[in-house]
Amino acid sequence: MEVVKRRRFNLMRSRLPYFFLAVLLIYIAICFAGQINRLWAMQASLQEVEQQVIYVREKNSVLWDRLTVLESEGYIEDAARERLGLIKPGETRIVTVFPERDEPAIDTSITD
């Protein structure tokens, strides 16, 4: 009977370290790709939010301009005359009545 000599396991000659290295590199690549994808999504979201900020700032500017006009003395006086029918002291209000209507219409002409 012949004695079979068993070989000892030699880590340096084995392909096992290369296999683990390949698995590790694939894992790192997958993690890196996931982070890159997440970064791109965040950048797209950031651009969308920046567009919304620009829109809101423009709308805010328009509203501030409108508020300035609405708070002006001239607009308040015109609104009081047209909508409320108010007059200044010493002025006479003239109301025009049209025959086909039952309700009087306010004439905006004012005499001093």
Strands (E), 16-96: 92-96
C-alpha 71: how far from chain center: 28
C-alpha 81: how far from chain center: 40
Mean pLDDT, rounded, for 21-41: 95
Residue 53: pLDDT band with limits 50, 70, 90: very high
CB 86 within 8 A of CB 68: no
| Residue 40 pLDDT exceeds 80 | yes
Structure tokens at 19: 């296999």
What's the whole-number average pLDDT of the chain?
Answer: 84
Mean pLDDT, rounded, for 85-104: 74
Residue with structure tokens 């109301």?
95
Structure tokens at 64: 């501030």
| Residue 45 pLDDT exceeds 60 | yes
Cα dist. 84→70, 77, 90, 111 in Å? 16, 10, 17, 18
